[in-house]
Amino acid sequence: MRNAALLLLLVLALGCGEKEEVPEAPLSPEKFEQVLAGSLLIQARLGHEIRVDNRAESPAASYYKELFEEQGVTEADFRATYDAYLKQPEALKKIYENVLNQLQQRADSTTLK
């Protein structure tokens, strides 16, 4: 979660003063949020595996391949969408806010059980 918070701060800093508009991109904002959330979870998992499990090789490619297949998107569409949002930081900021809220809700519901 610390990495996600840092990413959000970066997006906030870059986004000051830009107009808020959804960029033209292959993925809808909702689908992009879902895939981005999965991507952040993969990054957290990889960080955990490297620190705790002392893995030398990274299974990142297989994790991302599985994510894209589950979501029914291609890596190229995800990258193109991300690149489109990078050109409109306010829209990317909103996406990250939504994703972080979703991830926090997941974490909260898990700890309540």
User: Is the Cβ–Cβ distance between 67 and 38 less than 8 Å?
Assistant: yes
Evaluate if residue 13 carries a pLDDT over 70.
no
Domain that holds residue 46: 2-12+23-112
Q: Give me 113's structure tokens.
A: 């059980």
Q: Is 56 a residue whose pLDDT tops 50?
A: yes
* Residue 52 within a domain: yes
In a domain? residue 18: no
Residue 99 pLDDT > 90 = yes
Average pLDDT over residues 93-109: 94
Inside any domain, residue 96: yes
Answer yes or no: is pLDDT of 75 > 50. Answer: yes
DSSP 64: H
Residue 17 lies in a domain: no
Q: Can you tell me the distance from the alpha carbon of 100 to that of 10, in angstroms, rounded to the nearest whole number?
A: 14
pTM reported for the whole predicted model? 0.74
Average pLDDT score over residue span 36-40: 96
Structural domains of the chain, count: 1
- pLDDT over threshold 80, residue 53: no
